[in-house]
Amino acid sequence: MATKAKFQAIRGTRDLLPPETALWNRVEQTAHEVFATFGFGEIRLPIFESTDLFSRAVGGETDIVSKEMYTFSNPTSLAAMVRGGRTEGMLSDMLLSEAEMISLRPEATASVCRAYIEHNMQQLPQPVKLYCMGPMFRRERPQKGRYRQFYQIDAEVLGGTDAPAIDAEVIEMVMTFFDKLELQGVLLEINSIGDRNCRPKYVELLRAELSKVKDKLGPDSQRRIETNPLRVLDSKVKEEQSIIEKLPRMADHLCEDCATHYSAVKHQLEMRGVIYRENWRLVRGLDYYMRTTFEITAQGLGSQNAVCGGGRYDGLVELLGGPPTKGIGFAIGEDRLILSLQESGKAPAQQGRDVYIAWMGERAHATAIRAAKDLRKAGFSVELPPVEQKFGKALGQADKLGAKYALILGDNEVSEGLWTLKTLADGSQAKYTEPDLLAHLRKSL
Ligand code: HAM
């Protein structure tokens, strides 16, 4: 006998269920509202793009691109070949040479820049301020706060100048958003990682200094001396900490333009009352950044405690084939944001019903259907049982569902035109005419 397959969500993915989804909706709604007050408009992007877009933007050597992307060949090229009259025998050879490689998006910045170029947004008033939200995909080792399908709320400012006030306002926006959500233990860390002018010289200096202490470093950091010495600064290995503390710091090696920009960003943050901490070891795992970088952590998240990361990426649009364009943005890890809100008790309790209609009898059923329609129209959440129940059972059910009120409709109530409303918290009861009931509920809910 064939065994029944027991399906489960793929490792690193998960279902989001009610009542938790109510919190997701509240978070997203708050983002729509706060971002709109800063003049941002929503962009909705495809979930897959050409693999080349990500390797060019994020960097072929980064972990995200080299190890973590879900990549496959685009089957539409097969359909096109079949339509073009190619026989099946020829297809496999051709597929290898002609198939376009596509990837599930590991992040959104590359796609926003692609869309900016594709839709000639440089012709719009600059800068263009866009945000988006949705799932991203990275084949990382799953753990608390780290998933293979996770959700980001992403915002980008493209075009116009690189005025430090823009950097500060973008950061102010995400901090305003977190404040509105009452996220606890928020810590903003900032850094400047220089530009094409000064960073390569610093990286060489760092490489030289790291080579001197190579033997004292672990295998990962040893490898990074060659591939990306900046990432050594990110190391959490205990034995390496005292060595890293003595390394030269980017802040002391910024060119004049970058140093001026960085101190102006700090001044602009202060003008906005945004509290920050400088962290010279803050380097980001994506290649497109220059100058301002930042990360925000929050409470209750363990080792995966970054809820937001971002920075400036002037030159990325150009790298992707567009005109020279300034850019800065951030992405919030929505899964982690939700986790932190839940840990600090900011999540709403179970989504209860406002009114449970306990009806008995044929005539009462017709009245109950009408009452449910009117109450829902007035915006109340109503549970109308599909089959008749004894009142005792109905009230028990109303309790289980967390209803605030039970509306009791029996034959007596229907003939008298007086409906009984029971407050479930204290068991008190009162009778109302139909219009009075609606007015009472409007006042008390
Ligand atoms: P990122 O630092 O790679 O930056 O990701 C931003 C945030 O996404 C992280 O701080 C974290 O909260 C969340 N995140 C990343 N990976 C995972 C995962 N596997 N599971 C759960 N959450 C995760 C970017 O993606 C850049 N595109 C940000 C940006 C926008 N920079 C400029 N504009």
DSSP 246-294: TS--GGGG--HHHHHHHHHHHHHHHHTT---EE-TT---SSTT-EEEEE
Tell me how far the alpha carbon of residue 438 is from its chain's centroid: 39
Position 90 scores a pLDDT of 60
Annotate 357-368 with DSSP letters as a single string.
Answer: EEE-SHHHHHHH
Alpha-carbon gap, residue 410 to 414, rounded angstroms: 6
Distance 329 CA to ligand 1 centre (A): 11
**If you ran DSSP here, which 8-state letter would residue 146 be given?**
B
What pLDDT shows up at residue 77? 54
Please say whether the beta carbons of 170 and 158 come within 8 A: no
Residue nearest to atom 2 of ligand 1 (CA): 309
Nearest CA to ligand 1 atom 13: 333
Q: What pTM does this model have?
A: 0.91
Distance of CA 90 from the midpoint of ligand 1 (Å): 42
Pocket test for ligand 1, best of 104, 336, 340 (most atoms within 8 A of CB): 336
Question: In this predicted structure, what is the pLDDT of residue 444?
Answer: 85
Tell which atom from ligand 1 comes closest to the C-alpha of 140: 19
CA of 34 to the centre of ligand 1 (A): 20
Helix (H, G, I), strand (E, B) or coil at 56: helix
What is the CB-side half-sphere exposure of residue 43 using CA atoms within 13 A? Answer: 22
Q: What angle in degrees, to the nearest 10, is found between the helix axes of 164-180 and 20-37?
A: 150
Would you put residue 421 in left (φ > 0), alpha (ψ -120 to 50) or beta? beta
Find the 132 Cα to ligand 1 centroid distance in Å: 13
- Distance, in Å, from the CA atom of 419 to the CA atom of 299, rounded to the nearest integer, reads 49
> What is the per-residue pLDDT for 219?
93
pLDDT value of residue 144: 93
DSSP label of 229: G
Residues of the chain with pLDDT under 70: 1-3, 75-98, 348-350
pLDDT score at 174: 98
